[in-house]
Amino acid sequence: MTPLIKKSVTVAGMLLLGLLVTACDRNTPLMEKVIEGDLAGVKKMLSEAPGQVDVQNNYGWTALSHAVRLGNVEITRLLIEAGADVNVRDKNGWTPLLRAALKGHDKIVAILLEHDAKVNVRENNGWTALMWAAKRGHDKVVRQLLKAGADYRIKDKQGWTAMQHAFHEGHQEIVDMLRLAGARA
């Protein structure tokens, strides 16, 4: 097989796999428009079928889950204005705030907090948004979460706090920030 044919077969296989994964996820057309970053398409879908905003796929993801994961501020705001549940949980217990904190999407964290996202909710392993932001070194998100009342004393299922995660990853600025907020080792 020539390199060009081999590459074509590989690309075709990846495209087929992408189609199969999407089909297995059971993403809605609204979710697909969000994934594509198609703002006009999302607006059109919301006007034609407003009841689709909180429909969940096989993993419990909503259109908002996808917008947050991708860091799309405009679509996140649009979905929330259309009534998307900012505290919806997927099958692993993840909320949009947890996902935004993990990714370090500080603008989206701000929007979610403005719309009453629960700051101390835990995913299925007991991790909070503060733990994820601290572990990943997202200092701006850590500040936002602390200001919103995030509890730095919460421990995950292994007994670790946000400060311990930050220390383990070498994020001294975040360790100092958490200490200043009152956290102790």
The predicted-structure confidence for 87-126, as pLDDT tens digits, reads as follows 999 999 999 999 999 999 999 999 999 999 999 999 999 9
Among 1, 2, 52, CA closest to 27: 52
Q: Report the alpha-carbon distance of residue 62 to residue 57 in Å, rounded.
A: 7
pLDDT of residue 121: 98
Average pLDDT of the residues in 45-52:
91
Q: Report the alpha-carbon distance of residue 185 to residue 173 in Å, rounded.
A: 15
Mean pLDDT of the chain: 90
Among 109, 96, 35, 27, CA closest to 70: 35
CB 37 within 8 A of CB 70: yes
pTM: 0.86
Q: Report the alpha-carbon distance of residue 9 to residue 101 in Å, rounded.
A: 38
Angle at the Cα of 150 from the Cα atoms of 71 and 83, rounded to 5 degrees: 45
Please determine, for residue 21, whether its predicted confidence score (pLDDT) is greater than 70.
Answer: no
